[in-house]
Structure 1
Amino acid sequence: MISKDEYPRYKAWLRRVAEFKDFTDDQFDYLTDQMQVKTFAKGQILFDQGDMRDRYYFMISGLVRTERLDDTGNFGFLSYIKEKKGFPYRGLFQDEEYAYSAEAMTSIEIISFPMSKFEAVIQENQLATKRVIQEMGQIINRNEDQLQRMVISSATKRVEQALEIFSEQLGEPKANGETYVPYPITLIELARVSGTTRETASRAVQKLISDGLISYQHKNFTFFGETLA
């Protein structure tokens, strides 16, 4: 856990972030009164699906993977949360438990607040409520798009679609037109998202590299065009 002597610096940073600009000073002080700032190592679990939904998280740096399992435990839906993004939004004002698990994909630094306080301040502030609704809409759109793009029989095509999703959601555009994903993505991770084997994912990646569409160095992907078609 970060020393509380450092908290004023984190509060000042947070106040400049779009998601927190709309709060009044009193609302912001109320929200951050029980704020925690922590670091997690790669592979550490923030919470499990079914745990009490008692904290709202906001990413400072790094990447978190979320996974929701169906009732059988055989099917999992994966999504990713990068810096300057908050979670969970699912279940606001309603659920008592987290709807998915969250794991650090890299070393991360993260702020959290009591969920009850977060819900209270967004309920009081119309601009904050609007921003949360917009964020939830974007999450729904991304998840629906991901599901639709993964419902294809060809494993190779699913790998290509998963790579494009990584590019769109996690990539950083460069001045030369390339898109670089600054987070390490293993072939095993790519295979999990694609619903296939590591071997199939590896073959698909090697083909895209040989076709000059991507590069894959030190587990980081670079995309040389907007699509892999």
Structure 2
Amino acid sequence: MLESDDPYRHYLRQLPEFCDFTEDEYARLTQDLTVKTYPKGQVLFDHGDARQRFYFVIKGVVRLERLDETGNFSFINYVKSVKGFPYRGLYTDKDYPYTATALTAITIASVPMASFEAIVALNPRVTRQVISQMSQLLDRMENRLQKLVTSSATSRVIQALIIFGTDMGEQTPAGDVLIPYPITLIELARLSGTTRETAGQVVTKLEVAGKLSYNKKRFRFDPQNLTF
């Protein structure tokens, strides 16, 4: 559903990814701004589609997924609210490198990719910020692959929970992490490369051990304490 973009121009302007643009640059960037809401499960674009727009999540979570050439290994990343994507492929790729799907109901803003790339190149402060974002993304991906490449399904499920906490979690006053979005056991199994039954068994064991709570599909745990 298309929404009026006027209230969002001011909102986006205050955020770190947009505040360093000059007034003229920001006006040019948002000239073709669109803001839409989508239900859970909506595909924004598929792997291989023309790379036409840069997206920014205002509300909700987007899943980014890509299969390897064999179709057996799935690379998954999550983008939560107040984050933009895709940074991968800026200035080089003509197509999207993965499929983007609404993990929850989302509100999302987008601008033409050509405009984003052209205007970012004009502003050194914004360019540095984009490079920083890409560097952080690469670092997270390398760490993630190292932790998920293990033969132990239990370890993969625990690491997937920690990834959820890193990508989507919010620190609570008690010091643990709450994931304020509904996450199904199927999604947990998908990220950890195991079955729903195995993911459910690990979650149940962690709950019994008092190291995790899973209420109304929302996880809460201390990432440092997710062990048996």
TM range (shorter): over 0.9
Given that 1:55 and 1:113 are in contact with CA atoms closer than 8 Å, whether structure 2 keeps it comes out as yes
Amino acid at match of 1:155: A
Residue 127 of structure 1, aligned match among 120, 125, 128: 125
In 2, the alpha carbon distance for the partners of 1:37 and 1:141 equals: 30
The secondary structure found in structure 2 opposite 1:56 is: strand
The answer to whether the aligner puts 1:105 opposite 2:126 as a matched pair is: no
Given that 2:38 and 2:105 are in contact with CA atoms closer than 8 Å, whether structure 1 keeps it comes out as yes
- What are the ranges of 5 or more consecutive residues in structure 1 without an aligned counterpart? none
RMSD: 1.0
The secondary structure found in structure 2 opposite 1:124 is: coil
- What are the ranges of 5 or more consecutive residues in structure 2 without an aligned counterpart? none
**Inter-CA distance 136–225: structure 2 relative to 1 (3 Å threshold):** closer
Given that 2:148 and 2:192 are in contact with CA atoms closer than 8 Å, whether structure 1 keeps it comes out as yes
For residue 152 of structure 2, what is the aligned residue in structure 1? 154
- Paired positions, count: 227
Amino acid at match of 1:58: F
Given that 1:214 and 1:224 are in contact with CA atoms closer than 8 Å, whether structure 2 keeps it comes out as yes
The secondary structure found in structure 1 opposite 2:5 is: helix
Shift of 1:2: 3.1
The secondary structure found in structure 1 opposite 2:92 is: coil
Q: 1:169-188 residue pairs with structure 2 within 5 A? A: 169-188=167-186
Shift of 1:69: 1.3
In 2, the alpha carbon distance for the partners of 1:165 and 1:34 equals: 34
Amino acid at match of 2:175: G
User: Which has the larger displacement, 130-139 or 73-82?
Assistant: 73-82
Given that 1:164 and 1:227 are in contact with CA atoms closer than 8 Å, whether structure 2 keeps it comes out as no
Deviation string, structure 1 residues 181-216 (Cα, Å, up to 9, x no partner) = 011111111111111111111110000000100000
Amino acid at match of 2:137: I
The answer to whether the aligner puts 1:64 opposite 2:56 as a matched pair is: no
Given that 1:38 and 1:110 are in contact with CA atoms closer than 8 Å, whether structure 2 keeps it comes out as yes
Residue 15 of structure 2, aligned match among 2, 14, 17: 17
In 1, the alpha carbon distance for the partners of 2:100 and 2:6 equals: 27
Shift of 1:225: 5.4
For residue 82 of structure 2, what is the aligned residue in structure 1? 84
Residue 227 of structure 1, aligned match among 206, 209, 225: 225
Given that 1:185 and 1:220 are in contact with CA atoms closer than 8 Å, whether structure 2 keeps it comes out as yes
Deviation string, structure 1 residues 106-138 (Cα, Å, up to 9, x no partner) = 110000000000001100000000000000011
